[in-house]
Amino acid sequence: MARSSSGIVAGLTAVALGAVGFLAYQASASAPERKPAAVGQPGPPAPNRPAPAADPAKPLPVPADSGTGKRVVYSVGLKRVWLVEAAEGSGGANGAPGAEPRTFAVVPSTVHPKPGGYAVTSRSGAVTGSDGVPIEHVVRFTSAEGVVVGFSARVDGSLPAPDAKKKTGGIRMSRADGDAVWAFATISTKVVVVP
């Protein structure tokens, strides 16, 4: 009896392995063809995987399509601002020779400016924002959808997401970053918006 039960187990194992092999073949035959990425070219992003975290030791580079010279660069998609001196890498907004441009994350408004070049048109030390909260160091550079758009910091230092039901133009940042924008972006300073 031992011989017949071990023969049955061996037979069932062989059938199971055959079934697994057949299913694997069917799956590979019905999968879409994937071409390998060219050498030096990144492949398509993996679905449902978060982007790799930025290395804090390596600041994000200034977007290549943001022009030249002294400018504030605002990336709508990256939700980030750069303060770029006229001679990049030779002083930066941090003031140290050879320092990288200062860059920091922001909370976008509900109304976004179109990509392009602008200039700082007005500034206010302290006002009430379009969302009804006290703000400081307001640096305005355009309007969109009938709303004035600019950089600012909430006086209470908080950074909540804006109410999606309201049209607001305040691109919010921390109070320290708001201080830096205020010192850097005087009237007529170039502001470049990139996607």
- pLDDT digits over 71-109, tens only? 999 999 999 999 999 765 544 444 444 468 999 999 999
Q: Give the pLDDT confidence score for residue 30 in this predicted structure.
A: 43
Give all strands (DSSP E) within the chain, no chain letters: 71-75, 80-84, 102-105, 116-119, 122-128, 134-144, 147-154, 170-172, 190-194
Considering only CA atoms, which of 97, 96, 106 is closest in space to residue 73? Answer: 106
Q: Give the pLDDT confidence score for residue 157 in this predicted structure.
A: 94
Q: Which residue has the tokens 């059938």?
A: 15
Residue 176 phi/psi, 5-degree rounding, is -65, -40
Q: Give the pLDDT confidence score for residue 86 in this predicted structure.
A: 78
Burial class for 151, CB neighbours closer than 10 Å (0-12, 13-18, 19+): buried
pTM for this prediction: 0.67
Q: Give the pLDDT confidence score for residue 8 in this predicted structure.
A: 56
Domain map (residue ranges) of the chain:
1-30, 71-194
Q: For 71-194, which CATH class? A: mainly beta
Amino acid letter for position 161: A
Give every residue of the chain whose pLDDT is below 70, as ranges: 1-58, 87-99
Q: Give the pLDDT confidence score for residue 103 in this predicted structure.
A: 97
